[in-house]
Amino acid sequence: MATKTEERTFEDAVQWLRDHGFDLIEAPGMQGRVFLKKYNVSAAVQKDGDEGVKIFAYPGYLISGEISKLINRGYQQVLKTSKAEVAATADHLKALQQFSEELKEALGLPSLYNESLGTVSDAYQYDRIVDRDKPATERPKRPWEKIRAAAAGKKSRA
């Protein structure tokens, strides 16, 4: 059963975050954008329109001062930044999940069942399928795709 959530204004959300122990840093040169930090996890929210608030940078564990992206490789979840890739531990995942739930409450967003069960990854990349994370136009042709293309070329000539 879905429950209604009351969306908060930007000012109300920022005040709620301060009251609940989040460290807030105003984004330099950006009016209405705030970086949040708690449990060594960070995200950014910004003003949306006149009164609304939206997530600008989704939550990620901080690694060397950079917000990481959680990737599920099927056999292991990893935290990836532009410079490093670290295996995600249970403590990392617990911190991410707790931060995300508190952020949703602060912004008045619904807490979805599958997300409440545990951490949801930003990307899912399984080791059995190479290059699946690339756009379809950049992936190398698979052997069966080459055969189909060649067969289609023969049919059009006939």
Segments making up each domain of the chain, as ranges: 10-157
Write the CA distances from 152 to 155, 157, 158, integer angstroms. Answer: 5, 9, 10
* pLDDT exceeds 60 at position 134: yes
Q: Which residue has the higher pLDDT, 108 or 94?
A: 94
Q: How does pLDDT run across 50-102, given as a tens digit for each residue?
A: 777 877 888 889 898 888 888 887 778 889 888 888 998 989 988 988 888 88
Say how far apart CA 36 and CA 14 lie, in whole Å.
Answer: 9
pTM equals 0.66
DSSP 8-40: --HHHHHHHHHHTT-EEEEPTT-TTEEEEEETT
**CA 135 to centroid of chain Cα atoms:** 19
Q: Which residue has the higher pLDDT, 83 or 9?
A: 83
Kindly state the average pLDDT of the residues 28-53.
83
